[in-house]
Amino acid sequence: MSSEQTLILVKPDGVKRGLVGEVIVRVERKGYKITNLRMLTADRNILAKHYAEHEGKPFYEPLMEFMASGPIVAMVAEGERVIEGFRKLAGATDPTVAEPGTIRGDLARDQGTKVVQNIVHGSDSPESASREIKIFFNN
């Protein structure tokens, strides 16, 4: 099996709470290599491309607002089965039910907001990873 890449985003809630280093440490401790990293405040154009499949859904606008509300950190991680591995490391989308030991289980909490604020995003497939990396790293 060959090495693969994934896009990991530390969302505005994670950046605001000073958890970028913790996320990086967990990714690296797992044995994955971070090959690209940048901090940005995502504009509507970038977010519209990233969340294109959710356009028209009830949570789309609140999600766009949340993701544009502050800086995010985008990174490319590489390794064997990194997509599956990072998603397991991140934990369930809902932080209240995310297993202890996962990023969301340990660090995220339900905010009672319109959009789940759960610290991180990770690509869900090789196709998504390829598309998402191009959006955030335009190379």
CA dist., res. 55 & res. 79, Å (int) = 31
Q: In what order do the strands lie in the sheet with 120-122?
A: 33-40, 72-79, 4-10, 120-122
CA-to-CA dists, residue 68 to 13, 24, 51, 108, 132, angstroms:
11, 21, 12, 19, 17
Catalytic residues: 121
